[in-house]
Amino acid sequence: MDDKFSSLVEKALESGAYRAAVIPVSKIETDKYFRKLCEANHCGNFGRSWMCPPLIGEIDELIEKLHTFGSALVFQTVGELEDSYDFEGMMEAEAFHNRLVLKVGGIVAEEIDHGRMLSLGAGGCRICDVCAKRSNEPCRHPEIALASLEGYGVNVYKLAEATGMKYINGDNTVTYFGAVLFG
């Protein structure tokens, strides 16, 4: 692996990622079908967060944008749960994960001299306790607001396969994926 890529992987692991890898973006499978899952609104964020569908944009355009990048630092975090109903534990693990996505984004930004990049997390943007969209105000932190891999139509199951990572990491754990695209 390229020295620069090895260094990115090492820094992501040092920052708290469970596993990390750099892959070509051409290996990331996307499908606009995932927009249908967002529209089903099981998470309750559809139309209620500036970084969730439909407000983040048309799925075709987002998929096209994603494929304009050359490489992706993909990583996963694994949170421990008390049991499979531990909703609070899942939320804490997701918050940890998305903080890590921002941190890894900063690491990549330095490595590529603050060139063009795109950070994608898991679930909706959790920067604010309540998204400004709920009161129809502008996004409070547009420079760090975080969209999700699913929002961009990424098939996260296939992403796990492409990186050699497990999609699920054992009983009473929750696994989240993130990626920082660059180049």
Q: Which residues lie near ligand SF4 (CB under 6 A)?
A: 49-51, 125, 127-128, 131-133, 139-141, 145
Nearer to ligand SF4, 65 or 141 (CB): 141
Nearest distance, CB of residue 148 and ligand SF4, angstroms: 11
Nearer to ligand SF4, 95 or 168 (CB): 95
Under 8 Å between Cβ of 88 and 100: no
Phi, psi of 164 (to 5 degrees): 75, 15
Could you tell me which of 66, 73, 83 has the C-alpha nearest to residue 105? 73
- The single-letter code of the amino acid at 176 is Y
151 alpha-carbon distance from chain centroid? 9
Nearer to ligand SF4, 142 or 164 (CB): 142
Nearer to ligand SF4, 45 or 175 (CB): 45
β-pairing verdict for 147-148 and 117-121: parallel
Nearer to ligand SF4, 59 or 131 (CB): 131
Distance, in Å, from the CA atom of 155 to the CA atom of 159, rounded to the nearest integer, reads 6
Under 8 Å between Cβ of 63 and 30: yes
Helices (runs of H) and strands (runs of E) counted in the chain:
5, 5
- Edge-first strand order for the sheet with 19-24 is 19-24, 71-80, 173-182, 117-121, 147-148
Nearer to ligand SF4, 139 or 162 (CB): 139
